Amino acid sequence: MLSDLPGSFLADLGASTHWENAGITIAFNAEVQRLLQALTGLPSEEVSQATMLDSPSSLHEIDRNYRVFEARFSAMTQVTDSVLERRDALEYYVDLFSARDLRAFRTLRPISMASLDRAAFEELSEGLRASVQKVRQRLASEYPGGISSYRWMSQEDPFLTDFLRAELAVA
């Protein structure tokens, strides 16, 4: 093991990445479906290039619906960007303040909690968890069907398997 960081550190980083991806993927897919429905009057799975070209929508309707799409998707990406910013802040804090010098920054090396300010670490971790919670709440309120259909992770993911084995070995 190269670190004595708490297991929650890796869990927070991993969970935040999954929720950030879920937010972007679910919002984009749902908003594209709304846009296609608005422009063609058909469910998105029935829309083809020919259907789009034959759409009875006027240029004004297309523009208005595209602006709605853009605004709704942009609102969700602002929430997911907050997760990315917080995750980067935590990751860079741990990496920078545990480095002996700048040459060691962003290299694989042992990291000790003793080199970090526990209060700063906890504040950054809590901020990341709060950002993830906002994404989860936003997804649940805006796209409840999207959450239930989103494939979180392959059962055959070697990184998840290795991570779980490492966690079980430490426990």
Domain spans of the chain?
A: 7-170
Which pLDDT value is given to residue 106? 85
Lowest-confidence pick of 67-76, 80-89, 102-111: 102-111
Question: Average of pLDDT values for 73-87?
Answer: 97
Environment class of residue 36 by beta-carbon count within 10 Å: exposed (0-12), middle (13-18) or buried (19+)? Answer: buried
Q: Look-up: residue for tokens 């409840």?
A: 144
Q: Return the amino acid letter for 1.
A: M
Say whether pLDDT at 157 is over 90: no
Measured distance CA(161)–CA(32) in Å, rounded: 34
Which pLDDT value is given to residue 8? 86
The tokens describing 171, both together, are: 């426990």
Say whether pLDDT at 1 is over 50: no
Residues 10, 11, 16, 22: is their CA dihedral positive or negative? positive
Mean pLDDT over each residue of the chain, to the nearest integer: 87
The partner residues of 111 in beta bridges, in order of sequence, read 3
Q: Are 142 and 27 in contact (CB under 8 A)?
A: yes
Measured distance CA(160)–CA(73) in Å, rounded: 29
Which pLDDT value is given to residue 152? 54
Say whether pLDDT at 71 is over 70: yes
Say whether pLDDT at 103 is over 80: yes
